[in-house]
């Protein structure tokens, strides 16, 4: 089995995370798929963004100085669309890839004033290529929003034509995954964890077959134990080339990385 190469929040080492340019970069890096984060706005629209607040990767402090520390879900879609979610990457060069000449001037220009994408925009992008989608559901503001949230997600997926073989849904909120089974038992569900893989966890998680585990917390023994019980393992976030090779040798199902370009080089030899 070939280990799948998933670009973490898009190729965030070469473009601003969770933006259309970062997702487009995954094609250039020959990744198998992209991992993205789904949240809701105050008017219950679906957008792609990782952090709870907007400060790290937008100019919210400039546009909404009195609300800069407020959570994303307190902003409407229209308000979010006024934010620049790309220029910070040019200014900070968080991975040193701009300074190293790995990002072209043309690409940098596309980052300026790029917006927080709507989920529908991502699905439109995916309709024209082969990339798989690992969709992480972030925690909702209120638990009673879950049924409406799931219905909205699947309505958009249905209209997009994205087939189940290209989609996996993951979450740290494992109750969300249980609820998803009631709607689409054919979708691949991934339980996200940030702890060791224990016997108790394996026994209490029969509703998934795939675990997305923190690469820093897993051992080969844990991996083999989970595998023996019928689970497949994806590992996040693997950025060290030696670790990539080690996990490839293990035969893990997938690697989620900020550097899919490096993983592609290893896989393709």
The string of pLDDT tens digits covering residues 190-223 is 999 999 999 999 999 989 999 999 999 999 999 9
Domains of the chain with bracketed CATH: 4-51+117-268 (3.20.20.190)
Under 8 Å between Cβ of 123 and 18: no
Dist CA 13 CA 94 (whole Å): 8
Under 8 Å between Cβ of 156 and 118: no
> What average pLDDT score do residues 175-188 get?
90
Tell me if residue 131 falls in helix, strand or coil.
coil
pLDDT of residue 103: 98
Under 8 Å between Cβ of 40 and 46: yes
The separation between the first and the last C-alpha atoms of the chain, rounded to the nearest angstrom, is: 16
The string of pLDDT tens digits covering residues 63-121 is 999 999 999 999 999 999 999 999 999 999 999 999 999 999 999 999 999 999 999 99
State whether the Cα torsion 24-30-33-37 is positive or negative.
negative
pLDDT at 1 over 80: no
């Amino acid at each position: 089995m070939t280990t799948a190469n998933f670009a973490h929040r898009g190729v965030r080492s070469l473009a601003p995370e969770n933006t259309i340019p970062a997702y487009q970069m995954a094609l250039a890096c020959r990744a198998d798929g992209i991992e993205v984060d789904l949240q809701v706005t105050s008017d219950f629209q679906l957008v792609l963004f990782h952090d709870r607040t907007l400060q790290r990767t937008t100019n919210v402090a400039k546009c909404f100085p009195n609300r800069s520390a407020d959570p994303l879900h307190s902003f409407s879609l229209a308000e979010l669309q006024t934010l620049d979610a790309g220029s910070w990457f040019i200014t900070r060069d968080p991975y040193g890839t701009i300074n190293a000449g790995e990002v072209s001037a043309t690409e940098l220009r596309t980052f300026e004033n790029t917006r927080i994408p709507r989920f529908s925009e991502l699905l439109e992008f995916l309709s024209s290529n082969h990339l798989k989608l690992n969709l992480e559901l972030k925690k909702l503001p209120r638990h009673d929003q879950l049924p409406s949230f799931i219905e909205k997600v699947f309505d958009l997926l249905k209209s997009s034509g994205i087939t189940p073989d290209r989609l996996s849904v993951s979450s740290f909120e494992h109750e969300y995954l249980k609820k998803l089974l009631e709607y689409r038992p054919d979708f691949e569900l991934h339980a996200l964890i940030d702890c060791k893989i224990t016997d108790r966890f394996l026994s209490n998680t029969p509703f998934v077959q795939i675990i997305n585990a923190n690469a820093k917390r897993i051992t080969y023994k844990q991996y083999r134990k989970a595998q023996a019980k019928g689970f497949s393992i994806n590992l996040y976030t693997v950025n060290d080339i030696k670790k990539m090779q080690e996990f490839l040798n293990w035969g893990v199902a997938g690697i989620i990385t900020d550097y899919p370009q490096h993983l592609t080089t290893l896989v393709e030899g």
